[in-house]
Amino acid sequence: MKHGMVLLLVTLLSVGCEKYCTEELFLGHLVEIPLDLSKYSINEASYIYVINAGTSDTMFEPLTHFLLHKQVRESNFLTDYGSSGHYESSLNGRKLFFSYAGVLMDSMTNIAIKKSKEKISDECHKDDPNIQIDELSFTHDGVVKGKGDVVVLGR
């Protein structure tokens, strides 16, 4: 009986120490550029449009298309979207011009975003995308900015 209890205890302890892996996909880090829209009401900010210019194409899209949650909130973050792969950025090399009521209000130029696969030791997610942001820079108001810098959208 004593040996049975020891065997049961050792079995329970070894099972309890195993790492439990879920099927959740770990994507990694997102591009998040803090965007201060305090010069606009939430209603006004909903009508800001972005001219998204590249070397071969230009698109005219609502600001909400670029926001992390696809809607104007008290805290807003610009993010890249619809990239062709996990490590590509739809904003890399682009220029964004912000327009309100048909008037050009502000811009972000020289956008550089580089991503790669982060090396992690977690066996559960070693084959997941594990995106890390290696470079994030852009020019706003004549100043080169990067990770964590807030863009105060002018009026």
Give the range of the structural domain holding residue 74, as residue numbers without chain letter. 25-149
Name the domain count of the chain.
1
The 10s digit of each residue's pLDDT in 69-124 is 888 888 999 998 756 677 888 899 999 999 999 999 999 999 999 988 888 777 78
Distance between CA 45 and CA 74 in Å, rounded? 11
Question: In the chain, pLDDT over 90 holds for what percent of residues?
Answer: 47
Residues with Cβ within 8 Å of residue 75, at least 6 apart in sequence: 34
> Is 110 within a domain?
yes
> Is 16 within a domain?
no
Of 115, 98, 103, nearest to 35 by C-alpha is 98
Of 148, 117, 149, 121, nearest to 130 by C-alpha is 117
Side chain identity at residue 91, one-letter code: L
pTM of the model: 0.76
The 10s digit of each residue's pLDDT in 66-83 is 998 888 888 999 998 756
SS3 at position 34: strand
> Is 126 within a domain?
yes
**Is residue 28 over pLDDT 90?**
no
